Amino acid sequence: MFEALERLPADPILGLAAACKADPNPHKVDVTVGVYMDEAGATPVPQAIKLAQQELVGSETTKVYMPQVGDADFNRGMQELMLGADSNALSEARVTSVQAPGGSGALRLCAEVVKIANPDATIWVSDPTWPNHVPLLGATGLKLRSYRYYASATHSVDFEAMLEDLQQVGRGDLVLLHGCCHNPCGADLDQQQWGLIAALAARNGFTPFVDFAYQGLGDGLEADAAGLRQLVAAVPEVLIAGSCSKNLGLYRERTGAALFVSADPDAAIAAQTQATAAARRIYSMPPAHGAILAGRVLTDARLNALWREELEQMCGRINGLRLQLVEKLNAATGEDFGFIAREKGMFSFLGISAEQVKRLREEHSVYMVGSSRMNIAGLRADNMDYFAAAVAKVL
């Protein structure tokens, strides 16, 4: 049977990361894979997670299956983190959630529920978007369409074009939005633009579907959630895929949550039961370790305060790197890279051609994907000058 299978190429991003790892050049720079890295080039485990893990190991008495919806503290903590503890939707019991294997699992569970509720629904996805959105959501059989989002000429959101495209979206369809720190371009909607999207959704009857993977890494936990909260206040239904990979450092623990904001409590519970049924079909039961750790950090005052302090430092480092990179690139190239400082989160398009990206890799061992999307957190004091000089040489 297997002899008939075609060998597939490596994932383009993971393949580049592997090539960089094998590169013997001591000056190599890896800005491919989207993980946070500190000044030592490591992806650290937050101290709050370490403490929660020590406590868990000492107190855990069983490895029995988790409840189908997941850890109760985790679900409550994620709902309050994303929507705010004072959310009307929460106080009105119009929100349910299901623990999922990472943000990817949360996206898939949301799509599975949509497929059951409205098989003819179309999900509108931004152009550009995270490359895995299309295969991950499209595999459910739902139709996908794109809307214009980013203007490469100005390195900013093309909001006029975005609104023009979203005027076509009607009742029963969904619009996938990046809650903050857009992957791959780093260009985010401002609060006025979020308000206009919320008003359009309320007027035309489409459902916002928010991928919220980077809360806390743009302008801070509360500021990054402001756009999402505008949507929840404006429309009766919102789907949210939350992730703990980046802001809680739980990448390999695959910890995420699918949230269903509904018009009334009965509809919220119905959505949750459909999500757990979909989970049962796909992977049966949720993983425990990461969610229990996240639940403790989100609901324990001591651990939560420590985590928030650590996350603020991570966010500050990323924003500081953006400012440093603009200064270095402007000096090395004589061109204006100020747009990088205006963007949010870990990602930006450098704005160079695929051929120049190839030269960076082959001539200077600087690795980024062909679109010139780069992970700002892959830079640090000891490689920033080298990176800027390499970019200047290929321009």
Q: Which residues are identified as catalytic? A: 130, 211, 213, 246
E strands within 19-166?
29-30, 95-101, 122-127, 143-148, 150-151, 156-157
145 to 142, 166, 169, 201: CA distances (angstroms): 10, 11, 10, 17
Q: Please list the helix, strand and coil fractions of the chain in percent, rounded to the nearest 5, in that order.
A: 50, 15, 35
Q: What is the pairing mode between strands 238-243 and 255-261?
A: antiparallel
Cα–chain center distance at 379: 20
E strands within 61-102?
95-101
Fill in the DSSP letter of residue 35. Answer: -
**CA nearest to 323, candidates 348, 301, 293, 286:** 348
Q: Six-digit token pair at 335?
A: 């061109």
Q: Six-digit token pair at 322?
A: 């953006």
Q: Six-digit token pair at 42?
A: 């490591």
Q: Six-digit token pair at 189?
A: 């909607």
Q: Six-digit token pair at 133?
A: 């959105």
For 169, half-sphere exposure in the C-beta direction (CA atoms, 13 angstrom radius) is 33
- 305 CB-contact burial (10 Å; exposed 0-12 / middle 13-18 / buried 19+): exposed
230 to 233, 261, 358, 361: CA distances (angstroms): 5, 13, 41, 42
**CA nearest to 47, candidates 386, 348, 311, 322:** 311
